[in-house]
A and B are shown apart, each in its own frame.
Chain A
């Protein structure tokens, strides 16, 4: 069936570095993509989203890139801080569907 997955389960970076978290999706009907951050013991927190009519969207210190040709999504975090340490989930939603499909998540560890 259709799925959303992550290339790297764990990413370790030094404070101040830029981080890139990748996500592959397989449902060509997906037209809406979301990144969530989940800190230990908390629920997922919305970070940024992007629709399929865009290939890049920027937020505060975060950028999401969408490559529909290869069905790839990435989250870039600039100047990573220890407070960015968390599990990051990508999710995709097909047109007209109200239920997103979540990947397993990537654990980002930021070393001071």
Chain B
């Protein structure tokens, strides 16, 4: 079946603008994760969804970051008033259950000018 998809694949924005990043998980996967990956670095956990609820938001770096998930499917990560340090690849992953293997999407490359 189809894997995890993310859109847009690339996003260039100006400092101070808001951006929305979208993730479509694998159908039937109840768990969904957002990570941030800076150049040459490992993955930084942002937020985890089980169904439509987010039991763990501990990784969100500031209140400018928020995420939601609807219909136990699509998730949107929103960054308000973007800063240059927000430039990174934002990766989404999904898994059948919270302790199952995570499968990643291709990521959204965000560049804040």
Asked whether A34 and B98 contact (CB < 8 A) given A98-B31, A99-B45, A99-B48, the answer is no
User: What per-residue 1/0 map shows which CB atoms of A71-103 lie under 8 Å from chain B?
Assistant: 000000000000000000101000000111011
Interface residues of B, count at CB 8 A: 22
Interface residues of A, count at CB 8 A: 18
How many angstroms from the CA of A52 to the CA of B107 in the assembled complex? Answer: 30
How many angstroms from the CA of A26 to the CA of B17 in the assembled complex? Answer: 40
Majority secondary structure, A binding face: loop
Q: Do B48 and A44 touch (CB < 8 A)?
A: no
How many angstroms from the CA of A89 to the CA of B43 in the assembled complex? Answer: 9
Besides A42-B107, A98-B48, A105-B42, 16 more A-B contacts (Cβ < 8 Å) are A36-B104, A42-B106, A43-B6, A43-B91, A43-B93, A43-B104, A49-B101, A89-B42, A89-B43, A91-B43, A98-B31, A99-B33, A99-B56, A100-B102, A104-B41, A104-B42
A residues in contact (CB < 8 Å) with B = 34, 36, 41-46, 49, 89, 91, 98-100, 102-105
